[in-house]
Structure 1
Amino acid sequence: MDKERISRRSFLKHSLFAFGSFGVLLGMSGAYGIFGERNWVQTTTVKLAFRRYPPSFAGVRIVQFSDTHIGKYYGLNHLSKLVELLQRQSPDILCFTGDLFDSNQGEVTEDVIPILSQLHAPLGKFAVLGNHDMRLGADRIVAILERAGFTVLVNASRSVQRAEGNIQVVGVDEMFYGNPDLPLALKGIRDEEFVLLLAHEPDFADTAWEYPVDLQLSGHSHGGQIRIPFYGSVFTPDLGQKYSIGLYSFVGSDFHVYTNRGIGTTLYPIRFNCRPEITVFALEPRLT
């Protein structure tokens, strides 16, 4: 009986220790996700070759950022540091794929204009709107981005010229609250021209791959924001579930979609195993 009591006490002692250790580990993980990883921006370089990519654009650096969600948990000081980091990438073309402000815990402020105006890209700064931008008022966000030097593409395209070649940067309207019209956006573009598509929601790729589009850049999903090892994302939003993170290719097609993990957070100010991301695309012409 004494041995049995000792055994029970030992089991209880070890169980309490185990639960306590788990609680400490959980607390440390939460602190890391809130105060560490959430502010630890990763720069990812993606190298791809395309048949329609013009030789004169070889070496051009296309830099993407997305989903800043400026608000309670991502302020102007964070944005200033991000701008410095983006400029260190020496972008030739700069692409923002939506959700400038957070509609849940933020409000629109023109104070971002002088900060975003410090971004320089000799071949252009382009943007599309996200679902949070639409909730806060599309016209207000478009005005802020344009005053900061961005060309906002809503079912529209812009030709970018370099030497004897050119590419087309195309942007579609947001899917939840807007009316994305890719045929309208592609109107007048020749079949032989390289098309870089900006679409906030990555699952728009199911539409885009049927058109003469080469590369789609998206955001929206935050890569899941919290990713459990060997499991994946705890949650991904609607229209960001099929192509939620990173690079995807399509069988029998040159078309690719890349989903950037975004910069800020929404709902909860935490990232785990899913660092905020800047993406640098180094594209080349494919000869065969």
Structure 2
Amino acid sequence: MHWLFTGRLSIDELTVKIADLPQSLQGTKLVQLSDFHYDGLRLSEELLAQAIAATNEAEPDLIVLTGDYVTDDPTPIHQLALRLKHLQSRCGIYAVLGNHDIHYNHSQAEVTSALTRIGVHVLWNEIAHPLGQELPIVGLADYWSREFNPAPVMNQLYSGTPRIVLSHNPDTAKILEKWRVDLQLSGHTHGGHIVIPGIGPVVLYYKKLLKQLPKKLRRWVPFLLGDCSKVVRYWEWAKGFHQVSHNQLYVNRGLGTYRPGRLFCPPEVTVITLIS
């Protein structure tokens, strides 16, 4: 999609406090990429190249990918993988899948296989320790899959151990309130696509706005036509950093863009520094 409809790539930097973070991990740098929707339409090669270059320039300790690499057809994952193989980090690349990555019965296996071949560790209800035993990385199955069941995974961890959770859909933050989650990294919402500065995503108000429009005009506002509650329930968590009960959540705006485009909601590479 043309940059006029997507906006320029934004490199968003934030510092996140992690209780009980070991001194050896003080200053650990993560880079999060999400929602590529690499299908020849929703993500330009230029923007993807910029995102990869920005990621490597940050010199991260760990790269995390939070789903939706393709849109529906999983075939483009093979071309995307050829580009993602240029990503560089000290402790590797860890990923979870999104709802679009499991669209067809064969999608999950094909997407997982393509990413695995380039050295990406795809987590599906699994725990990994790329940063050491003192800070596990939990990767959950997609919320809309039949296998989303965080309890058996989360209950493996001692309550005193800090952890980072990768979960494509930010709605899962509500369910994960039952456990300690020092930082949940999600995507899925694309930030709401259209944002009113100082107010938030238009989608928070779309039902009221839609009712005020004449019926003849409604079909010209495609963003407002669907039932956005089917995408995500907690649109207040559509982008950025949030405190959810005692847990912390960050939602990446993603790289791919759907019609009608983005407004004050540019595609994002997130650079996260962990401190105690």
TM-score of the superposition, structure 1-length normalised?
A: 0.79
**Alpha-carbon distance, 1:75 to partner:** 4.0
Shift of residue 79, structure 1, vs aligned partner: 2.4
| Displacement over 6 Å in runs of 4+ | none
For residue 27 of structure 2, what is the aligned residue in structure 1? 59
The one of 93, 96, 107 aligned to 2:62: 93
Percent of residue pairs bearing the same amino acid type: 28
The separation in 1 between residues aligned to 2:128 and 2:98, in whole angstroms, is 19
Q: How does 1:1-288 map to 2 (within 5 A)?
A: 34-36=2-4, 38-71=6-39, 72-103=41-72, 107-136=75-104, 137-161=107-131, 166-229=134-197, 231-235=199-203, 237-239=231-233, 241-251=235-245, 253=246, 255-266=247-258, 268=259, 270-285=261-276
Unaligned runs of 5+ in 1: 1-32
- Give the letter aligned to residue 113 of structure 2: A
Measure, in 2, the Cα distance between the counterparts of 1:95 and 1:240: 23
Inter-partner Cα distance in structure 1 for 2:120 and 2:14 = 23
What number of residue pairs does the alignment pair up?
247
Q: Alpha carbons of 1:128 and 1:248: their partners in 2 closer, same or farther (altered >3 Å)?
A: same
The answer to whether the 8 A contact 1:201-1:240 is kept is: no
Q: Is the 8 A contact 1:38 1:271 kept in 2?
A: yes
Cα 1:81–1:161 shift into 2, 3 Å: closer
CA distance in 2: counterparts of 1:241 and 1:230, whole angstroms? 15
- Write the distance in 2 (CA, Å) between the matches of 1:183 and 1:52: 23
Mark the runs of 5 or more structure 2 residues left unpaired by the alignment.
204-227
SS at match of 2:164: strand
C-alpha distance in 2, partners of 1:126/1:240?
26
From the CA coordinates, give the structure whose radius of gyration is larger: 1
Alpha-carbon contact 1:201-1:239 (below 8 Å) kept:
no
For the Cα contact (< 8 Å) 2:135–2:164, is it kept in 1?
yes
What amino acid sits opposite 2:52 in the alignment?
V
- 2:215 is matched with which residue? none
* Coordinate RMSD, CA, aligned: 2.2
8 Å Cα contact 1:70-1:76 kept in structure 2: no
- Separation in 1 of the partners of 2:3 and 2:263? 11
